[in-house]
Structures are given as C-alpha cells and as structure tokens.
Structure 1
Amino acid sequence: MSVDMNFFLQFYNFLIKMILLISLILFSCSETEPIYYESPISNTTFTFMQDQNTVYFSANFEDEYQSEKLDSTFVRWYGPDISGDFDVIVLNDSGVNGDIIAGDNIFSRKIQNSSLARNPITDLDTSFLFADFTAVYGDAKFIGLLDSAKIGNLIPKIINIFADTLIVRPEGRNINLIKVKAMVTDGDGNETIKWVGFTSFSLRDNEMMNNGNMIYLYDDGNTEILYPPDFTSGDSAKGDGIYTFKIPIYGDGFGTEPLDDTTRTGSFRWRFSVQDMANDYSQTVDHVIIIQ
C-alpha cells in the first residue's frame, strides 16, 4: 500500500472521529433538562359521613402556580366509574358550607349525598370511588389531581318498622303477645349484623322502661327457645332481614302498676337501632305507641 493511501486512511479516520466528537458536543449542548412542576394541590380528602348522609371534600391549593393566580377550585366527582359522568362540587375557603377556617388555603365543601345528581353513594359502592380535585389558575389553566378511596365499613340501615301504634291492655290476668318487627339491611351483607333492638321510654312518666335495657329482635325463623319453657321470637322466616319479637302485654290483674307485672299504660317512644360486626351503629328510628 502506498504512502499516499496510508495518509488518506489515517486522515479519513481522524475526520470521522472529529465529526462524531463535534456531533456529541453539539447534541449535549442542545439538550435541555426537563422541568418538573410540583402539583399545587395537596392533602386531598373525601369522606362519606354515613350517619349524616353527607359527603365532605377538602384539599390544599397554592395561591399561585407558574406565575398565575388561583382563580377557582372544584371537584369532579365520578363515584365508582372514572370513565362515566361526573358531578361538579365547587369548593370554598370562606369558612362556610363545610369549610372550617377561612383563608387558610384549605378549600372544602360538605354536601348532602342526595344532592349528587349523577353519582350518589349507595350501599353497592363497596369498591374504589374517584374524585378529581381541580384548580383553575389565571384565565384557563386547569390543574387536576385524581384521588380515590374506599368508604370502608357500611353502617347498617333500618328500612321499616312494623308495630302497632295503639295497644289495648287486656283485663284480669290475661297476657297478649304483640309482634314487633324491624326490616334492616347492611351493604356489607346482612350476615354482618350483630343485633337489632329497641329501648322503651315512658313519655308520661319521663322514665326508661325495662331498666333502660335493650329489647332485642330476632331473625331466627322462630326456631330458637329464648326463654323457658318454650318462648320464641315469632319470626316468620330465618335470614330474610326482618327481625321480630313478641312483646308480652300483661293485664290489670297482675298487680298495681308500676310495682308489679301489670303493663304500664300511657305513651311510649320505642327507639330502634342496629349494630354490625364492626361495632358501627345505624341511625335510630323512633316509633311512638299508646297503651291503654
């Protein structure tokens, strides 16, 4: 190989290396580091207060984002379906409508669950629920932060009470058995219900009856002996969510009320409640009866 050819090859290799080096330098100089902006939304919260049937939304919003001032805040509430329609809940930092402290940059809202037109929370909503907390900065810069959570334990509910409003006390030493029923349900399954019962309060005498103890109802299909020799609940069907008990009404021949077994007359408030296995309680339901 000639000297000229060797020189040409060496020069060519040198030229290629220089081109690669210059390209690498130019590429490195032209590449810019990505800029990551921290979200101006934090501490998102939504809570379903089952005993009040209200939903509470709250989040912290920064006053300014990318040199734009905060204009407004709201929540897109999707319920269990993130791809479905949503309710819009406007938040505020004015110390009203569920907001606790005005001007602390924590924007909140408490609303009735029934006012959620598209996605009210029901007993079927045992999976994740979705809320998109959104801020508007400047004229039209929308910043969102999606949050999701489960409700947790669903509290039991009393659907209906089946009981007389007027009971006539029998005469002499007779006893009448009056059935009292409560239809109840639990979104986590009726098998999670621990007990159903009620207390009795004399409105005339301003006094708790039965020493203030709960009178329990049963969903046992009338198969369990509750008191000897053979006293049962009177329940019609086991496991149907209707709890029953037969209340004995003693006639006026058992002694002078209120010192003996004779059932007291007057108006009484029966207050029903349910407890589940998670030790959560239903809302109470009152039923007023008159015994005469």
Structure 2
Amino acid sequence: IDILLKNPVCPDTLWKKTPEKFTVGVEAVFPKDKISVDEVKMELFYTSSRTVICTYYLEDKGISGDLIPKDGRYSTEVNSEEFNNFVGSMFFHFTATDIDSTVFSSPLDYPLTIVDGEKNLPPSIRNINLPDSINIEENPELIVEIEVSDPQGNDDIKVATCMIYFPLSPVADKIFHLNDEGINGDKLKGDGIFTCRIKTNEISFYGEGVYTFLFKVEDSSGNKSPFVWKNVYFYSESGNFPPSVTIVSVPDSIKAKNDTILFEVKVSDPNGLSDIAKVYFNSYKPDGSPSSANPVYMLDDGGKTPGFNSGDKKEKDGIYSKLIIITPEVSKGNYRFEFFAVDNEGLISPEKKHIIVVY
C-alpha cells in the first residue's frame, strides 16, 4: 500500500427533501516514483448492508468541482438528487490506484447521514429601504426597512440587526434591532418587512459623511443570512450637527450618608466645543417619578463659577461636572439618570442613561 488518502471534504448530513449540489474531494499522496494516477474513486455505501448506492470518479484537472489542477486534491461535483430515495446511515468510500494498477491505497471512509425531512435553510435579505442621503435638519427621525425572506416562513426569523458604522470607522458604532410586529415604525405585522425607527441625532453626531448600514438576519436554528449593506450620506445644509455625551465618572451605586459625589461627562460636537450651549441631567426616583430638582446643569468651568460648586477640574476641556450630595433621607433603590447636551442652535444630543443604586 503506497498511496495515502487523507483530508476528505464531504458533507456529514443531507436532507432527503432538500436536494443539494456539493463537491466531494480527497487528497492523494503518491510515491515519488509512481506519480501517474489511474483513478481516484468514491463510492457511497449503505452502512448496514454495505450496498453500493452510487459511484463517482474524482479528477485533479481543475474541472468538475476541482479548483486547482495537479495539486494532489481530487474532486467531483455531486447532486444529492441521485440518491434521494435513501435515508439513514451511509458512508463515502474512497480508493485510488496508479496507472499500472500496481500501487493501491488503503480505503478511506467518511460517514454520512441522510435525514428523512427538510433542511432548515438560512434566511436572506432581498431589499433595503433607505435613502441615499439624509439632511438631518429635515429628518429628525429615520425609518429603516429591510425585506426578508425565509424558506421555512418568516415566522422562523429570530432576530434582524442593523449595525451602523460612522465615517471611516472600522467597527460598528451603533446597533439596532428591527421588528416585523407592527410597532416602532413597522407598518404591518408579519409581512416580511422588518423595521426600526431611529432618531437621527443618535447617529449623526459624528458629523457630515458617509455612514454604512450593515444588516444581518438570523433564524430560530441559528442560520444567518449573508450580510447586506448600504452607504448613506448624512449632511446638514447649515453645517450644524448635534453634540454627543459620554459618561466619564458616574458611580453605579451610592450610600446615602451625606457624601459628596462628583458626576463627570465628556461632551463632543462636530462643530467644536464652542457650539455647546448647555449640559444637564434629569433624574428619576425608584418609583419612576421625576426629581423636583430637574434639570440639573453641569459646567466645564474649572470650578470657577461662584456659588455653583461644579467640582470641575479643568476649564474648557469638554468634561462637564457637577457635585451632588445624597442625603440619608432619600428613598433607597434604583435611580435613573439621563444626561443631555444642547448646542447653540438647539440640537440635542442622544440621551445617555445611567442607573445608580442608592442604598
């Protein structure tokens, strides 16, 4: 035995009611003095009876499913319709001989199960409904729609996702989920059109440029659609874009004991920090009711404003601050804080939420 067969490529499961075309292949390693192959053969056997169902001859000529000629990998294309009358346990059986029939391989087997049923095929995205460009001043809200289909029916769709990449960003900066439930901008439940409603200021605060919308859909079996995408140009006729807020230092929990706590948020604006008019937060009690102190303003004043007690460490660095005190008398529980920035034209940043547990 001088021919080595290895690295078979074959499906391990097929479905009787879902015909498939696929490529099978195997790598054949021959002795240096026996390089003329006569044939590489693959037979499909029934495991229980050892009955041959089909026989195929594999080639290394860059045809019939073989990618690269004379690279030592032998392949052929197979259509499961040729044996779709069979179900159960089977195996692919590979053998090889040289042109003189003097050198043989040991057989190489690979198991196959044919299931009496239908394969759960992945969903697909057929259409994206998005404009090529968006004027943020005329469109404070954006409706994003994709048309989805699934061979098993749209009830099989588990989740539809939209990932938004800001201009020149290598990673997704915002992620949204779309629905087909007739809510959040979706017009008709179960029509295969998945929708989400997005506030334009949630994504346009990066500034003018091309934003990439990348979509994927997953079904209940975990099968994923191919990604589809669309580029959308965001612009403002006035050149003004909304600011954004990032939390720098806000605790997750506070003990109510008259301690002074410093809140800090980082504010940015495509039009520069000089375009920031005000920064503030609103807080909501554990029962959901708003605090009587709302809104609470924050400053980037380096702590220099008389009587305000911002606690700000450095003036005009884009970090806005406010010192607060939690007294022992306050209600204990989860408080919701929402931070905002507003520019000189009145454009408001997306809200930045944070939960603080007071105990």
TM-score calculated relative to the size of structure 1: 0.47
User: Per chain length, whose mean CA-contact separation is higher, i.e. which structure has more relative contact order (CA < 8 Å, sep 6+)?
Assistant: 1
Greater helix share, 1 or 2? Answer: 1
State TM-score, norm by structure 2.
Answer: 0.39
Which of the two has higher C-alpha Rg? 1
Higher strand share: 2
